[in-house]
Structure 1
Amino acid sequence: MALILDLGGNDSYHGLIGASYDVRYGNAVVIDLAGNDRYTGAPLGLATGRLGVGLLFDGSGDDTYELSPGSGGVGLGGLGILVDTQGHDQYHGNRLTQGAAIGGLGLLIDTAGNDRYSSHGFAIGFGGPLGLGAVIDSDGDDQYQCGDVLPSAYNAHDAPDSKPGDPEFQYDCFGLGAGAGLRVLTAQPQWLNQSLAGGMGLLLDLKGHDRYQSANFSQGMGYFFGAGILLDLDGEDDYQAARYGHGASAHYGVALFIDRHGDDRYKSTGPYYNAGVAWDHSVSLTIDAGIGQDSYTFDGTTGLGKADHTGWAVFLDEGGHDAYRVKSGFGETSEQSFAAFIDLTGEDQYSLLSGVPDFRPGNSMIFSHGTGSFFQDR
């Protein structure tokens, strides 16, 4: 095992930092106890467990982590752990960073400070096939950002003439609590068995007024037998997502999104599927708990309890004077699905932009769009 122990000072680290090198040198540990440090890791080279164990522990200071692909608490057939216990820290990542795993365990733990997490994709609590990836932040007003770099395949169908920077141009994220598998789409039957079921991705924030901003497939999202979880336990938070966000699942995925407390704001660039939505044999649950005054501004998207193609989805807001604005949803279903929208208490405001015949959501009402559909405001 390789070990580096630094007792103090403002240090700079480059290259392989607490990362397993190969099968002969499988375990590596770096411990830095104090100082405002800067870590610039090589690809697969910072708190990365690659057929081994990679551990980085930073005890204090306002630290900066520059994360190349496959680094920052990443497990690839191994165990990768990054722990930072104090300071206002910044984590800047490429793809497959910050609590990500494929065939292993990747973990990033930050216990204090107003921190910033950013990545291109497949990051910030991402579980690929046979992987468990998690980010746990226990305190501070934090910012999480993922996306705006990797163009989405949906552009070819939804906006073939758009280009980066256009409002309708979409990006993919697969992060902020996302589990995803490898889904091979092919006309060749012999290639279908190359598909791989997804793992589990978790983003857990215990306290603070936080901001989440991400592109497609994010914020508690499960894709192709994967499971995605986002849990925020306290604070007044802002959630900005895109297609498939805020507790969304597709193709046999499972999704869980829970915000336990606070006056929260939810938005999406769309164009589809936010907040308790499931597609193609998937299951999703989105809960905003407590009695906060929440707003859901989904003018350009669908959701708030919506399921299609044998999906099961539930959206639940426990209380408060909330404002809902959505293109379509509120318990809509199709093709042998089940979907529910439930608001337990409070004088709420509703705006349904699609103009569904015979349905105007309001307070103290129960409604069903048809088989498998349920809307209730108590």
Structure 2
Amino acid sequence: MPADAAGDGFVLDGSRGRILVGGPGDDRHRIDPGTILVVDPGGNDTYEFAGPVMGNQLTGGQLTIVDLKGDDRYRGDPLAIRSLVALVDLDGDDIHEGGVGTQAAALGGVAILIDRAGNDRYVAEAFGQAAAALGVAVLIDGSGDDSRGIGDRGQGFGQVGGTALLWDLDGNDRTQAAGPRDTVGRDGRLSQAQGMGTGIRASHGGGVGILRDDAGDDTYVLEMFGQGAGYFTGIGVLADGAGNDRYEGLRYVQGAGVHGAVGLLADRAGDDLYVARHGVGQGMGLDMALGALRDGGGDDAYEAGSLARGPGRRTASGSCWTAGVGTASPLPPRAGGATMPRAACPGLVPGRRRPGGPLPDERRGRSGRPGPCRRPGRRSALSIRSSRRLCLSGGRTSGAGGRGGPDGADPPQRPDAG
């Protein structure tokens, strides 16, 4: 195979594709179609992807990148379409930038991104950071305080026939998603991220989306659909280990299963904060679905609107399971003076304080400790009064407080519309 000079490295062109070998300096690698392997021993390098990596029906396609060290920058959208794309970065504070179909994204293929160490930054528009449809996508990040931002459909997002895993081993990380405006008038954006499995309603069953974080004080922020949520037979899981974590969302979040799906949020330990401002989450099942939120211990705080913390609607099941002893101290005031008390088992009655009003009696006993889980309206419930509490509900129910309304209504027909 002929060799061409490429700075301190070289290029090999063969019958099966192009191989790029970098040098110890700061290299710039252009990843054009036909490139199958890139190896770089060091330096602050830049990688530019020309576009998706596509395979044919006979041989498929492949691209493997191995970078040993350096503060590197990866730009572009190497979506794996009927192909294998693998990127391994062993050290350095790296930046991953892309649009649609990037940072471990697969469509009928397999995509793997491993970043072993460093304080890394991930930025994408959509369908990235571990996103798969009819394929498999895996993003593993080792040590370091990382930030991940995406528009929608990512961070452990499995669509029809897809399985996606985002696994972060350590560090104080921030993971955030936004998304397009809801098409049916609800006040929020369709994020579909952070452990989300979704299908196409009435035609194709959902995939599997998982976000796992082993350690660190982490922050998860999105608006609708995510943080362990499943839609139309999909399975969505967010599993967090140790650390004082913060979960923020609007609705269909934090262990929400909708239309035959499964949604689970499990947090093993730490003093955590759960916020679902409009409700419809925190262990909620809707229409033959299962939603669950399990917290293994710590002084936790919960805030939610209606239909949250253990409800089930239309022969669905929801659960809220916490362990440990909480306190009755309120959260910092929100706009308008509303607050939420901390509790070991918050029950299903929103504990929001109206300006100038007392905390609900259902939330605290005479001793000031959290009282038993209580559900108004037609519900079946089980409450175990001890340091470990289990809140379950099933059957036909309405929103918290026995009210119906838009938070208890069916989402739209298409997953991309809610």
Q: TM-score range by the shorter chain?
A: 0.7 to 0.9
In the alignment, structure 1 residue 306 sits paired with structure 2 residue 311: yes
Distance 1:127 1:75 in 2: 10
In the alignment, structure 1 residue 226 sits paired with structure 2 residue 234: yes
Structure 2 equivalent of residue 166 of structure 1: none
Backbone CA RMSD of aligned residues: 2.6
Q: 1:289 aligns with which of 293, 296, 300?
A: 296
One-letter amino acid matched to 2:89: D
Distance 1:84 1:98 in 2: 12
Give the 3 Å change call, closer, same or farther, for CA 281–113 of structure 1 in structure 2. Answer: same
Distance 1:107 1:41 in 2: 18
One-letter amino acid matched to 1:219: Q
Distance 1:227 1:324 in 2: 35
Distance 2:327 2:228 in 1: 22
Structure 1 equivalent of residue 24 of structure 2: none
In the alignment, structure 1 residue 317 sits paired with structure 2 residue 322: yes
Give the 3 Å change call, closer, same or farther, for CA 368–93 of structure 1 in structure 2. Answer: closer
One-letter amino acid matched to 1:172: L
Q: Which ranges in structure 2 are unaligned for 5 or more consecutive residues?
A: 1-15, 17-35, 332-342, 365-369, 387-418
Counterparts of residues 83-232 of structure 1 (less than 5 Å) = 83-147=114-178, 149-155=179-185, 158=186, 169-183=187-201, 195-232=203-240
Structure 2 equivalent of residue 21 of structure 1: 54
Give the 3 Å change call, closer, same or farther, for CA 322–258 of structure 1 in structure 2. Answer: farther
Query: When the two structures are superposed, what TM-score results if normalisation uses the length of structure 1?
Result: 0.80
Give the 3 Å change call, closer, same or farther, for CA 307–143 of structure 1 in structure 2. Answer: same
Q: SS of 1:360's equivalent?
A: helix
Give the 3 Å change call, closer, same or farther, for CA 352–368 of structure 1 in structure 2. Answer: same
Give the 3 Å change call, closer, same or farther, for CA 143–323 of structure 1 in structure 2. Answer: farther
Give the 3 Å change call, closer, same or farther, for CA 368–301 of structure 1 in structure 2. Answer: closer
Aligned residues: 327
Q: SS of 2:69's equivalent?
A: coil
> Is the 1:175–1:217 contact (alpha carbons within 8 Å) kept by the matching residues of 2?
yes
Query: When the two structures are superposed, what TM-score results if normalisation uses the length of structure 2?
Result: 0.73
One-letter amino acid matched to 1:68: G
Q: SS of 1:95's equivalent?
A: strand
One-letter amino acid matched to 2:128: T
Structure 1 equivalent of residue 265 of structure 2: 257
C-alpha displacement at 1:199, in angstroms? 0.5
Structure 2 equivalent of residue 34 of structure 1: 69
Q: SS of 1:243's equivalent?
A: strand
Q: SS of 1:201's equivalent?
A: strand
Distance 1:170 1:345 in 2: 28
Give the 3 Å change call, closer, same or farther, for CA 29–65 of structure 1 in structure 2. Answer: same
Distance 1:367 1:248 in 2: 20
C-alpha displacement at 1:104, in angstroms? 0.5
One-letter amino acid matched to 2:67: D
Q: What is the aligned-residue identity percentage?
A: 31
Higher Rg: 2
Q: Which deviations, in whole Å up to 9, do the C-alpha atoms of 1:66-90 show, x marking residues without a partner?
A: 1221111112111100110010000
Distance 1:53 1:324 in 2: 51
Q: 1:360 aligns with which of 359, 362, 368?
A: 362
Counterparts of residues 233-244 of structure 1 (less than 5 Å) = 233-244=241-252
One-letter amino acid matched to 2:183: A
